[in-house]
Amino acid sequence: MRKKKVLVTGFSPFLDFKVNPSGEIARKLDGFKSDTYEVFGIELPVLHNEARKILEQRFSEINPDLVVGLGLAANATGIRIERVALNRYYRSGEVEERIGEVAAYETSLPYERIREALWNKGIPAYYSFNAGTYLCNEVFYTIASLCSRKGIRGGFIHIPFTHRQVIAMKKFSYPSMQEGLLIEAIKTIIEVSLV
């Protein structure tokens, strides 16, 4: 039986954050194979348009069965499942730009089952109704658009820092989660979404 192909994206470091756990986890999951799926993990640059171009190119090359985008939310207190991708983002100077034609996409990930599965494993998880108006939303919208056209599931998840990163930064006001638990959470999201 053919293994399902799962594209997992994360981001490179940005601003004052020297490490971005979303990109680290995407890289660590790259090449992971279970009995039923294999992961193609990529780290996207924190650059408007460039991130979208790379995502579209890799989507075309990999031809995935599922796409899970990851991003860092420094204030996230657990796994934050984003519900809606908006057709807008803000450039410097707060200039609003459109990404595509559709006003908004709702995630096609089974978010209720994902949250329940994570809770059952003792992993905090909750919903958010949009991924903001910056690059995470732009990538989420692109994922949703690509997946909608292909008829597959895709969505976006915000994650907190890892404990190790918070200690290294000495930024103890940031919520964090053990890295192994974050990786287990992403694998759970994949497994639930492929059913």
**Annotated catalytic residue within 24, 43, 136, 147:** 136
**Annotated catalytic residue within 24, 82, 138, 147:** 82
**CA–CA gap between residue 148 and residue 144 (Å, rounded):** 6
Would you call 112 a catalytic residue per the annotation? no
Would you call 136 a catalytic residue per the annotation? yes
Could you give the C-alpha distances from 110 to 1, 95, 141, in angstroms and in order? 24, 33, 17
Would you call 158 a catalytic residue per the annotation? yes
Q: Is residue 123 within 8 Å of 181, Cβ to Cβ?
A: yes
**Annotated catalytic residue within 24, 43, 147, 158:** 158
* H-helix segments, the chain: 21-29, 50-62, 111-120, 135-150, 163-169, 179-194
Eight-class DSSP state of 107: -
Catalytic residue numbers read 82, 136, 158
